[in-house]
Chain A
Amino acid sequence: MIEAHIRKVFAGSSGSAPFELNIHVKSDAEITVLFGPSGAGKSLSLDCIAGFVRPDEGRILVDDRLLFDADSGVSLPARERGCGCVFQSESLFPHMNLFENLWFATGRFPRRERPGKVREMLERFHLDELGLRRPHELSGGQRQRGAIARAILSQPSLLLLDEPTRGLDAALRQEFYSLLKEARSAFGIPVVMVTHDVEEALELGVGMHVLVGGRIAQSGTPKEILDAPATAAVARLMGCYNVLQAEVLGLDPATNRSRLRISAGDETRFEIIGPYLPGLMLGAKVQLAVREDEIEFGTAPEGGVKLQLRAVVPLVRGARIELEGGIRVSVPAPPDRDQLRSPVVRFRPQSLRVVKS
């Protein structure tokens, strides 16, 4: 289990605002994902856990072992933290062959056992024929397998992965996901992984923390966060939500419904029926998140809103339709001409989620 409370402030340089990382992460998940946009503080969090950056305040514990505690002045150096790190797709040492790379991680074993340990690990990761090759003579997938094998060989109590699939194509990413899951279950080492790729977070994450602007915006399982984003920023990061501004025009507890005026973009205004919104007054302004694939699309859905078509983007499955006001709708099959000539959308009340700003 990892528990990390980290606060680190960087003074802004030449007029830019200071950046403050202030997070509290507690997870006993097999694979914990730190997810967020660039500049949110994900990699910095990992650097603090690994011992590359010293936090200003906080405490870091891995399996009840204290790695850092600002109050008592404990700060183990990176080499004593037992955190195996894998960075992007280029973390094997380029001046060593694969065997030497793995050998570098065998410092904790008696010298006579090291060759056997390296060979065993090369075999387990299907790299036994490639030991004499330098990293630039290996494929991206082989390099990543080598990097994971090397990290595990150092007997870490925690694996830290910083965007490990950056630069890999879709097929290699899938290969890496399988490899990571296999390695995790075979060696039983918990993993903390940083990514800004939502598909990757959903694919691998058992626990997930969403970082926005140096703070944890939401924690939970990936599915919980995907189904119910807590804030507009989290909803936008999920990549499949429309975030709409709404004004409450009417509330009817008898039918459990509300009447809402939606503002999308600069000029698009329309009224829809929404869920009953307890605790809100008439005239209150709220933000609503609605998934692209939960908006009904057609020529005449009952109670629908007619919107102008902006673009149609073909997807692997179906298409994404972009409408006025920046509203996006995902449909499972490419729309026909009639649907595109006069597009109408309908928002189901239960698909509208109120999110914080």
Chain B
Amino acid sequence: MSETLTAPTNIPRLIQDEIEAPPLSLGRLTWLRFRRHKMAMFGSVMLILLCIYSIGGAFVYTEKFANDTDASLGMQAPTLTHPFGTDPVGRDVLARTIYGGQISLLIGITAVLIETLAGILIGAAAGYFGGWLDALLMRFTEAMLIIPEIFLLIVMAKEFGGKFPSVAIFGREFSGSVIVIVVIIGLTSWMYLARIVRAEFLSLKEFDFVLAARATGTSNAGIIFRHVLPNCMAPIIVSATLGVANAILNEAYISFLGLGVQPPTATWGNMLDGANNYLETAPWLWFFPGALILLTVLSINFLGDGLRDALDPHSRAV
């Protein structure tokens, strides 16, 4: 635009009255609605406490202590020295739930990142481009859906588990099986999200603002990621939140079956694996990890529920 341009003077300018007072921003509105959802608030507080528990607890007990075996101390019921008791090889259950919590939460979150990434890419490509690509991707999604997820998990865990060396992240040594489990869970749970994203794209791509964006020369990638995707963030956020709970449960399943994260690295799931022989004789072995899984999954589901209501643009309640 050249320098000589001036703002028009002969055109009636908008007067101050016509400009609305800035309404609540989306984030603020979401927070107001979320705050009124009591269960969701309970869930969020609980999750924060659980994070403090598994991260803060690491400052009280060292990982070496959590993995330290001493058969002579095995199978002790909760006492003051071992508040959650000890397992058959004498490891402290409290310390192990702390370090297991880190792994379980980490698996939950990273698996969901993979799931979300795969779901968004596949759903967006199918919904936006349509045609044969849509048909191909959706048939693939359905093919993945008809195989029971737990079966896929078991087969993939058996196939790939234990084939990767340990890695160090954040100064902690992780068994290679953690990464395998994360990838496996991520790759077996993206299908529902892909369908949600596809459905959103199918309707959003017909909107005028997409046409307007194309008319200003925006590329396909620009339209997909800058114009359409932000419009379907609400269902994605909700789905991802609930996905974390699902991933933690999935990890528990396969670890319980002995195919998940391999000891000595603790997770809530593989702690249950060791406990099933002592259901009646040593209930502290399964009660504490089990209760933590239950609490986490419940809290995340409450949180997801609250987010769903809070992010719903049709909900007018503030």
Q: Do A and B bind each other?
A: no
